[in-house]
Structure 1
Amino acid sequence: MNDAQQRPKAEPLSPNQPPHFYRGGAAIAAFRGLPVLDDHRPEDWVASATARFGTAGTGLSVLAEGTRLADAVRGDPYGWLGGEHVARFGHSTALLVKLLDAGQRLPVHCHPSDDFARTHLSAACGKTEAWLVLGTTGERPRVWAGFRDDVDEAMAYRWVSEQDGAALLGALNEIPVRTGDALVIPAGLPHAIGEGVFVLELQQPSDLSLTLEWLDFLDTAEQAHLGIGFERALAALDRSAWDNDRLATLLTRRESGSLLADAADDFFRADRLSGGATVEPGFAVIVVLGGSGTLHTDNGAPLPLARGTTVVVPHAAGPARLSGLDGALDVIACRPPTVPNPGETVS
């Protein structure tokens, strides 16, 4: 076998939908053109090298030959990620992509920052995320994010200890959403996704959620605070007020022509592309929203693309060139954050 044959290649990924506590999954099945597995498979973890919290391997993506993506990356980090990426992030892909279909309203929750995750949860990173709305159903598709007013520590603790879900949800900004809108969710920001909202989610590669509203969603409070107790867990919560001007730094409406707000730049990238575009060499996850075409790389056979196709592209594949049939191809390219040039400060 020659060197070109040994290098990792771009390849399509099958659905990877671990069971979850909340309902959903029909929109994912329709998007991929597959039958519904059951009504508690609301998340498709795409190109996942991240395991579900508290498990050894649930949620990890498996490549065509049966190798876990996480193992493949550890075995050839330079081939999968490139030298500059490895110098900054080590063997981590620095990205997890999901398709998420909220078949019911999700509970109010937040995610820890990098510092909190390392200090209190012995984790490599926290979880900032972003949602790109792919579709909605129902009369009032909406999400919630950030407290409207400052919330003091005692009040937050009372809401959580008494499981006053109505107070928690009622204190958040309610945001109507449409297909094409996007919202960045920084670590610490309390949030929830409403029933009928189907999103493409980009996030840091962790599965750390502090579930403030756990009653009627999770089995135990232990699951909600990840074993550290709510007194410690609530230190991760952003209790500050988010008015409309502040929220505008996170929200992108479809008519703007942009995908993600600048708040995402330190964590991940997303570009909407069509036939004729090229994705520069590097680890990438391609999600096809519509049309059909082909993905061409320097290393491997051309791959057919159609709505619902998801492809992982390693650095060793070289530039990923998109060609669409009759020019009709609509793709989101999801990538880790840009690696700074030598000498550039990393924030």
Structure 2
Amino acid sequence: MSDAEGLRPVQLPANQPERFYRGGAAIAALRGDTPPMAFGPEDWVASCTTFHGEQATGLTTLPGGDLLRDAVAAHPANWLGDAHVAAFGADTALLVKLLDAGQRLPVHCHPSDAFARAHYGSRHGKTEAWIIVGAAAEAAVHIGFAEEQDADTVADWVARQDAAAMLGALNPVTVRPGDAVFVPAGVPHAIGAGVFIVELQQPTDLSVTLEWRNFLDDEAGGHLGIGFETALRCVDRQGWAGRLDELVRRDESPAAVTELFGQPEFFRAERLRSGATLAASFGVLVVLDGAGVLRTEKAGEVPLRKGATFALPHAAGESTLDGDVVAVRCLPPTP
């Protein structure tokens, strides 16, 4: 049986293309078998998505040498299930990353589906969410403008590259492991240094980087070639200070299965502990702690250990989780 057929869970090696910002030590520490990288802050897990404008960078290669993207295209029903294929075709509709912010990320946002179709020729925009895995003392994320901003003010900040004004206009939120943060398309944000996350997102690499200086090579990288006059139309300029509870969730439930995001039109995520029973689905499994066994209906038992990541095919059937283990299962949108 080939891993490419989508009949059994496949354990994945690290997939850390070089990025423009520092990080990677927390990924190496979690995995335990990956050397730290100075500029490897993102591990693209079970990725069928490439860097914006590139042909292959970012794609996951299965242990047998096949690209996961090609394997899914060849066996879509096995990997994704008939209902998903009917809704989305041979498209996983999901990108998962481990992201270790070795420095503060720039202030940026992502386009909606409609904006991405109109201006970037993309089926998907980039709504995303973060599950906090590790956080240094007082580490924070910055999300959404605290007060509503007018378009001219935001355009002026970007034109002058006033990083202090842009960051200062956002809501700082101190985070701790276990927190979950939902980031709708358009909402400006920046992840602070010392924050380590499992990130779910729609499967694109589309970012409008308002704070591009000292991060990207040039201004064009900030707007991805469409000009800031157009790109800034995707920015959510409303104030979020009084309703951050819509974006930030703190839940320390010891339940076997805890739903982390109620956003089935974009993606789903579950925190799993021993005794979890899982319906058949394509998914990405990240083992955060401990060791255990995933017992699948049609593909036998799969040993789990801290730091391991898996692509889970629909064809493996229902499964149960046993052992002293904590994991996150990331799922595509509901068909």
Question: Offset of 1:184 from its aligned partner?
Answer: 0.2
For residue 221 of structure 1, what is the aligned residue in structure 2? 219
1:31-42 matched pairs, under 5 angstroms: 31-42=30-41
Report the Cα distance in structure 2 between the residues aligned to 1:237 and 1:169, rounded to whole angstroms.
14
For residue 279 of structure 1, what is the aligned residue in structure 2? 278
Report the Cα distance in structure 2 between the residues aligned to 1:167 and 1:6, rounded to whole angstroms.
51
Report the Cα distance in structure 2 between the residues aligned to 1:240 and 1:5, rounded to whole angstroms.
45
1:163-174 matched pairs, under 5 angstroms: 163-174=161-172
Cα contact 2:5–2:75 (8 A) shared by 1: no
The more displaced of 189-198 and 314-323 is 314-323
Question: Offset of 1:261 from its aligned partner?
Answer: 4.3
Q: Which amino acid in structure 2 is aligned with residue 15 of structure 1?
A: A
Q: Any idea what the Cα deviations from partners look like across 1:173-202, whole Å, max 9, x if unmatched?
A: 111111111110000000000000000111
Q: Any idea what the Cα deviations from partners look like across 1:76-98, whole Å, max 9, x if unmatched?
A: 11111111101111111011111
Question: Offset of 1:6 from its aligned partner?
Answer: 5.2
For residue 245 of structure 2, what is the aligned residue in structure 1? 248
Task: Give the length in aligned residue pairs.
Answer: 332
For residue 302 of structure 2, what is the aligned residue in structure 1? 303
Report the Cα distance in structure 2 between the residues aligned to 1:59 and 1:319, rounded to whole angstroms.
29
For residue 147 of structure 2, what is the aligned residue in structure 1? 149
For residue 160 of structure 1, what is the aligned residue in structure 2? 158
Query: Where in structure 2 are there 5+ consecutive unaligned residues?
Result: none
Report the Cα distance in structure 1 between the residues aligned to 2:4 and 2:164, rounded to whole angstroms.
57
Identity of aligned residues (%): 53
User: CA 1:102–1:4 in 2, change beyond 3 Å: closer, same or farther?
Assistant: closer
Question: Offset of 1:300 from its aligned partner?
Answer: 3.3
Report the Cα distance in structure 2 between the residues aligned to 1:316 and 1:189, rounded to whole angstroms.
36
Report the Cα distance in structure 2 between the residues aligned to 1:256 and 1:150, rounded to whole angstroms.
34
For residue 260 of structure 2, what is the aligned residue in structure 1? 260
Q: Any idea what the Cα deviations from partners look like across 1:242-280, whole Å, max 9, x if unmatched?
A: 123x21111101347765343x33211111112232221
- Give me the TM-score of the superposition, normalised by structure 2: 0.95
Report the Cα distance in structure 1 between the residues aligned to 2:4 and 2:311, rounded to whole angstroms.
17
Q: Any idea what the Cα deviations from partners look like across 1:84-136, whole Å, max 9, x if unmatched?
A: 10111111101111100000000000000000001100011000100110011
> Root-mean-square deviation (CA), in Å?
1.8
For residue 196 of structure 1, what is the aligned residue in structure 2? 194
Question: Offset of 1:74 from its aligned partner?
Answer: 0.7
Report the Cα distance in structure 2 between the residues aligned to 1:90 and 1:44, rounded to whole angstroms.
25
1:231-246 matched pairs, under 5 angstroms: 231-244=229-242, 246=243
User: CA 1:214–1:281 in 2, change beyond 3 Å: closer, same or farther?
Assistant: same
For residue 343 of structure 1, what is the aligned residue in structure 2? none
Report the Cα distance in structure 1 between the residues aligned to 2:295 and 2:76, rounded to whole angstroms.
22
